[in-house]
């Protein structure tokens, strides 16, 4: 029996198999229920499509018909506007600004620590200590609402959830006093969208 050729989606995401920023974009796509083709680009692997589409040669890269986007923040905001339901940012300008500030702090203060942990070496243990302390110091932030500064899932949650998912792989165990952080993470991990967003590599991080 001759199989029909696979029809390629008009939306293609080039993504690493285990990367917080790539996972973030996949989580937004899953939350939106948008169908797309997932092209896995392994670290250190030369991919001519990515090199052609993104002058920095990094993932994630989103390609949709006449537009190509790179940079996780740019991609996520585009997806939220391009596919408005469900919305992943509040309508109120003040609330949107607060969430954007929270995301900026995570990207500038926390994500560099995860890179240092992943790379290993003599700085890894210090980075692990600082990230653990930063999460403990942020307990009130996770207690303030059901999700990050909001009663509904937002783009900020799509950034933080992939980081929290990786804590066991980073060797970080939070104390009971920070149970609000773990509870927040479990609420997000339990969603069907989070399950759909993961690669096989990411699933294995907690197996």
Helices (H), 144-204: 155-165, 167-170, 179-189, 192-197, 200-203
Assign 7 a pLDDT band (cuts: 50, 70, 90): very low
pLDDT at residue 54 is higher than 70? yes
CATH topology of domain 11-86: Glutaredoxin (3.40.30)
Domain boundaries, the chain: 11-86, 93-191
Mean of the per-residue pLDDT values of the chain: 93
pLDDT in tens, 65-123: 889 999 999 999 999 999 999 999 999 999 999 999 999 999 999 999 999 999 998 89
The architecture (CATH level 2) of 93-191 comes to Up-down Bundle (1.20)
Which run of H or of E encompasses 37?
A: strand 37-40
Report the pLDDT value the prediction gives residue 3, as an integer from 0 to 100: 47
């Amino acid at each position: 029996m001759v199989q029909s050729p696979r029809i390629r989606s008009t939306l293609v995401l080039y993504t690493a198999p285990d990367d917080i920023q790539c996972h973030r974009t996949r989580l937004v796509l899953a939350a939106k229920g948008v169908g797309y083709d997932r092209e896995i680009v392994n670290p250190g692997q030369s991919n001519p499509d990515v090199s052609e589409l993104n002058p920095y040669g990094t993932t994630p890269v989103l390609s949709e018909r006449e537009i190509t986007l790179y940079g996780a923040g740019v991609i996520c905001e585009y997806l939220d506007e391009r596919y408005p339901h469900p919305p992943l940012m509040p309508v109120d300008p003040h609330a949107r600004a607060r969430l954007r500030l929270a995301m900026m702090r995570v990207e500038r203060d926390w994500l560099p620590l995860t890179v240092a942990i992943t790379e290993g070496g003599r700085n890894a243990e210090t980075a692990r200590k600082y990230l653990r302390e930063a999460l403990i110091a942020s307990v009130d932030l996770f207690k303030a609402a059901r999700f990050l500064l909001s009663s509904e899932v937002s783009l900020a949650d799509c950034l933080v959830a992939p980081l929290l998912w990786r804590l066991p792989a980073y060797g970080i165990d939070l104390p009971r006093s920070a149970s609000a952080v773990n509870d927040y993470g479990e609420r997000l991990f339990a969603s069907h969208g989070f399950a759909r967003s993961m690669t096989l590599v990411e699933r294995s991080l907690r197996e």
